[in-house]
């Protein structure tokens, strides 16, 4: 038996993490995507695993290697991510939406390579499903963790997303500073909890931030 119960704060819990960008195909060689290295989501999946959870990692295309000891599901588009999450949500105790999901996908996908034409190209995009919002509308026991990368008005937007998506916590980061977030190995975030708690986490490696995020969450479960 471990002397430190925090080490196994997620023992036996089922945790699903989404990570990385989604890729929305335009034609055979072109796509529309979001900036995301996947590092924060992968760090969260590994931290949850180390805390004793059974982890499912639903990942978009990243250059990271598959973490050991987690169930890995590779997806490409927002729609594929939605289906993968929806199918598994009932069994989950916690769902962490660290993925940068494309908000729009082309109305029409061309299978061949489109040839260039004179003049401008106009593409029409439609909205994707807001996966976190769907989860918020259909959850029972699942603890929902959302992310918000903002360039401005971080507090207002993060609190808005918390409410609109019925999440339990939103982890917000300020992306105006290119050193932080995206491809960086460090992150600096602020957690906005549904009960009104606000927890800033100072700049540190994404691994350490991941542990702190999970500790802030699980310590509130024990109350």
Q: Is 34 in the active site?
A: yes
Residue 35 binds Ca ion, judged by CB under 5 A = no
Residue 70 binds ligand CTP, judged by CB under 6 A = no
Tokens of 181: 């977030």
Question: Burial, 93: exposed, middle or buried (Cβ in 10 Å; 0-12, 13-18, 19+)?
Answer: middle
Among residues 13, 49, 97, 206, the one that binds ligand CTP under rule CB under 6 A: 97
Tokens of 50: 């180390």
Residue 103 binds Ca ion, judged by CB under 5 A = yes
- The response to whether 147 counts as a known ligand-binding position is yes
Q: CA–CA separation, 158 vs 10, rounded Å?
A: 26
Interface stretch with ligand CTP, choices 6-14, 146-154, 183-191, 195-203 (CB under 6 A): 146-154
Interface stretch with ligand CTP, choices 57-65, 68-76, 106-114, 141-149 (CB under 6 A): 141-149
Residues of this chain that interact with Ca ion (CB under 5 A) are 103
Which residues are known to be catalytic?
Answer: 34
Output the known binding site for CTP.
Answer: 103, 113, 147, 161, 165
């Amino acid at each position: 038996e471990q002397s430190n119960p925090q080490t196994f704060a997620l023992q036996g819990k089922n945790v699903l993490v989404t990570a990385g960008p989604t890729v929305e195909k335009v034609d055979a060689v072109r796509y529309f995507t979001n900036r995301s290295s996947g590092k924060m989501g992968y760090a969260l999946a590994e931290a949850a695993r180390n805390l004793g959870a059974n982890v499912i990692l639903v990942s978009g295309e990243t250059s990271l290697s598959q973490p050991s000891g987690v169930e890995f599901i590779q997806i490409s588009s927002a729609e594929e991510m939605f289906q993968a999450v929806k199918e598994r949500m009932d069994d989950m105790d916690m769902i962490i939406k660290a993925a940068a999901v494309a908000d729009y996908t082309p109305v029409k996908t061309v299978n061949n390579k489109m040839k260039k034409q004179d003049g401008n190209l106009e593409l029409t995009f439609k909205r994707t499903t807001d996966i976190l919002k769907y989860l918020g509308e259909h959850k029972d026991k699942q603890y929902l963790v959302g992310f918000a990368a903002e360039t401005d008005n971080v507090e207002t937007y993060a609190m808005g997303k918390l409410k609109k998506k019925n999440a339990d916590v939103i982890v917000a980061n300020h992306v105006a500073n290119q050193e932080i977030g995206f491809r960086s190995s460090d992150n600096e975030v602020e957690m906005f909890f549904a009960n009104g708690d606000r927890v800033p986490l100072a700049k540190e490696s994404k691994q350490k931030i991941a542990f702190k995020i999970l500790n802030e969450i699980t310590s509130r479960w024990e109350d």
